[in-house]
Amino acid sequence: MAIHIGSIIHNYCRTHNIPVIELTRKLQINSSSTFKIFRAASISTRMLQNISVALKHDFFQYFSENFEGNIYKKHEQLTKDFEALQRENELLIKVLKIIKE
Q: Note the pLDDT tens digit of each residue in 50-73.
A: 999 999 999 998 887 656 556 667
Domain boundaries, the chain: 1-66, 69-101
Q: What's the CATH number of domain 1-66, 1.10.260.40, 3.40.50.970, 1.10.8.640, 3.30.390.50?
A: 1.10.260.40
Report the alpha-carbon angle 70-61-18, nearest 5.
160
Displacement of CA 58 from its chain's centroid (Å): 4
Q: How far is the C-alpha of 45 from the C-alpha of 62, rounded, in Å?
A: 13
> Which residue has better confidence, 30 or 74?
30
For residues 83-95, average pLDDT: 92
pLDDT at 25: 96
- Quote the pTM value: 0.64
Give me the pLDDT at residue 7, please: 95
pLDDT of residue 69: 58
Tell me: the pLDDT tens digits for 14-38? 999 999 999 999 999 999 999 999 9
| pLDDT (0 to 100) of residue 97 | 86
